[in-house]
Amino acid sequence: MLRVEKVYLSREIEEHPYARKILERLGLAPEIVEGAPPLPLASWPEVISWGKRVLFLTRYKGRFFRPCPGTRAYLCCGYRIFHIGQGCPLDCTYCILQAYFNQPWLTFFVNVLEEGLSELEAALGEHTFLRVGTGEFTDSFAIEEITRLNPQLVAFFASQDRGVLELKTKTTQIDHLQGLSHHRRTILAWSLNAPSISQNEEKGAPSVEARIQAAKKATSWGYPVAFHFDPLIRFPGWEEEYAGVIELLFREIPAENICWISLGSLRFMPELKEIAGRRFPQTKIFSDEFVTGLDGKRRYFRPLRVELYRHLYRLIRDFSPGVCVYLCMESPEVWQESFGFSPLERGGLPKMLDEAAQRVCGF
């Protein structure tokens, strides 16, 4: 999955111990830069492809801990981001990062342990309970084979009684988390999709079956798990394919060890369609009935979204009446039409997810 061909290193962290360890694992000599790496003279779609093979090690000067960038128009889950870096070596057709950042390379912040963890510890001390994740602007395991960050985050959260860490991924590279003392404070989460979507639109990612087997392995090590069907995508036969994935999921994973399952439909900034169309001319996922949502993103016409959500929700409920299922970035009206209730009736979506985490993680 990870194929780094070029490394840039900020001069200010040239002798940083963590940076030196990463470079040792890579076996590549870095090019030292004063600011950002130089961009090649090419079209933006070509630059994006180039960036997936380029790593930039630098020091982050902003806030590591921040709220998820939700939209007031839709119900947000209240998730908090621990910002370890950005970019992903996987190459999913629908990935929003293609249009979201103007820096296409893989970035990792080497000051995350000494500065990021102290900031995170202070935030945990100020709140009753927090759900924290690293997978908002990158895959939580995207470059884990060279950073080996996650065992240190697992150890940090193992001693916490005010929060949980969710590590989201499409990968299966979790073996180095076996045997760690995690105290069920780290949730390992997988993005899932229909097999044909995985095969055709998630370049470089393991199969859906392999991801579920990785989740089964994590469960055997005592980790709680979670799953994200996002983005759900319509195509001929989507009903049967998603049903097969959900059946496999509950056949392999005990429902009582699942913190939550999220559902979200395909949505994208208008400029993403043009970028992805040039990079993946064979894709058809943007050829459907879309409208502009309240957040400015294109999304399926509302009845089509409701049809997707209702179908998967009923399938999940056939296997587990109790597992927490939620919609990502949808209105109370869509919740009502799809699930028959709104989180506002239950104290709000953040409260629903906090209670699910506390129940499954053993608080």
pLDDT for 308 equals 98
Q: pTM of the entire structure?
A: 0.96
pLDDT for 67 equals 85
Range of the domain at 315: 67-84+112-361
- From the first residue on, what is the mean pLDDT of each consecutive set of 10 residues in the chain (363 residues)? 93 97 96 94 93 97 86 84 96 93 93 95 93 93 96 97 97 97 98 98 97 98 98 98 98 98 96 95 95 93 97 98 96 97 95 97 96
Cβ-count burial 224-244 (b if 16+ within 10 Å, e if not): bbbbbbbbbbbeeebeebbbe
pLDDT for 135 equals 81
Residue 30 CB: number of other CB atoms within 10 A? 18
pLDDT for 111 equals 97
Within-domain flag for 162? yes
Within-domain flag for 286? yes
User: By C-alpha distance, which of 45, 114, 128, 40 is closest to 80?
Assistant: 128
Within-domain flag for 312? yes
Residues 318 and 332: their CA atoms lie apart, in Å, by 23
Within-domain flag for 353? yes
Residues 208 and 194: their CA atoms lie apart, in Å, by 8
pLDDT for 258 equals 98
Could you give the angle at the alpha carbon of 169 between the alpha carbons of 168 and 173, nearest 5°? 125
Within-domain flag for 55? no
Split into its structural domains, the chain has a count of 1
Q: What is the CATH number of the domain that holds 352?
A: 3.80.30.30
Within-domain flag for 93? no
What are the E-state strand segments in 178-284?
A: 186-191, 202-203, 225-232, 258-265, 267-268
Within-domain flag for 220? yes
149 alpha carbon, distance to own chain's centre: 16
Within-domain flag for 235? yes
pLDDT for 69 equals 73
Residues 98 and 193: their CA atoms lie apart, in Å, by 20
